[in-house]
């Protein structure tokens, strides 16, 4: 049985995932030790969420289809659109998404505020996120791989692209992991449960070392400025 994955969006992330698609099905090369689910071939399609396109999506292995046709054929729907577009897409296509695996590949940087003490982005409770959480079989995946990395990575490289994904639905997580390992050649680490926030924070973090350095510079500047003010204004100069 063939599992069909649909890339919703035609931007750089979708382009990169299409490029990573192996031109052949390799059922054993990236299989995890202890797998109990038989490997199966995958088919990758792509569509624009608003415009009907046809032909090849950059590569012969990935075909362009209309959104309606893609949703009818797809078992896995990979959202390669900005987080701001999730709300309209999920509302408009809610009737066609039942029973499908939805891959959330977005980072909520644009919908978040920064905790400047930790350097982490704290997601705000917006309606589109709530809609995604209520959709069937959501898997958080591919948000930690960049388009540049995907488009520049050589298929002949001995180092596979590493990624982390999570879901509360173990079976759906297994399907997406097999797609990533067998069809795309990724090295995948999986987490059972809703660990989306942790995965996003690990990806869209300023880095603790940068935050610490910024605070050191801030306090050093503050102390020296205070000293200069008192020395010049209170003691009337440095002489």
Other C-beta atoms within 10 Å of 8: how many?
A: 25
Q: What pairing do the DSSP bridges indicate for beta strands 101-104 and 120-123?
A: unpaired
Q: Residue 141 sits in which domain range?
A: 3-206
Task: Kindly report the average pLDDT of the chain as a whole number.
Answer: 77
Same domain, 12 and 118: yes
Same domain, 215 and 199: no
Other C-beta atoms within 10 Å of 25: how many?
A: 14
Q: What is the DSSP letter of 151?
A: H
Same domain, 145 and 226: no
Same domain, 163 and 222: no
Q: Looking at residue 115, what is its pLDDT?
A: 53
Same domain, 193 and 218: no
CA distance 161 to 157: 9
Which stretch of 120-124, 140-144, 181-185, 196-200 has the lowest confidence by average pLDDT?
Answer: 120-124
Task: Provide the percentage of residues in the chain whose pLDDT is more than 70.
Answer: 71
CA distance 149 to 100: 28
The residue among 205, 17, 2 whose CA lies nearest residue 105 is 17
CA distance 216 to 37: 52
pLDDT, one tens digit per residue, over 55-76 is 888 888 888 999 999 999 999 9
* pLDDT greater than 70 at residue 202: no
Same domain, 145 and 235: no
CATH number of the domain that residue 141 is part of = 3.40.50.720
Same domain, 129 and 91: yes
Q: What total number of domains does the chain contain?
A: 2
Same domain, 94 and 169: yes
Secondary structure element (H or E) that encloses residue 87, with its range = helix 86-92
Site of tokens 């050589």 = 154
């Amino acid at each position: 049985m063939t599992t069909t994955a649909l890339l919703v969006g035609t931007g750089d992330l979708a382009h990169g995932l299409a490029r990573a698609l192996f031109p052949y099905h390799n059922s054993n090369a990236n299989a995890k030790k202890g797998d109990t689910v038989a490997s199966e071939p995958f088919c990758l399609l792509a569509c624009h969420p608003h415009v009907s396109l046809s032909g090849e999506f950059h590569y012969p292995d990935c075909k362009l289809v209309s959104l309606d046709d893609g949703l009818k054929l797809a078992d896995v729907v990979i959202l390669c659109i900005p987080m701001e577009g999730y709300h309209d897409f999920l509302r408009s296509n809610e009737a066609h998404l039942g029973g499908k695996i939805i891959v959330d590949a977005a980072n909520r940087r644009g919908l978040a505020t920064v905790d400047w003490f930790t350097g982490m982005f704290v997601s705000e409770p917006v309606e589109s996120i709530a809609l995604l959480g209520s959709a069937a079989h959501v898997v958080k995946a591919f948000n930690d791989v960049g388009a540049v990395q995907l488009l520049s990575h050589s298929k002949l490289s001995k180092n596979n692209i590493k990624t982390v994904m999570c879901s509360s639905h173990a079976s759906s997580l297994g399907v997406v992991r097999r797609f990533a390992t067998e069809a795309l050649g990724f090295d995948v680490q999986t987490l059972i449960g809703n660990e989306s926030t942790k995965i996003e924070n690990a990806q869209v973090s300023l880095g603790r070392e940068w935050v610490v350095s910024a605070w050191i510079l801030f306090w050093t500047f503050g102390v020296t400025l205070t000293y200069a003010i008192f020395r010049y204004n209170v003691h009337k100069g440095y002489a």
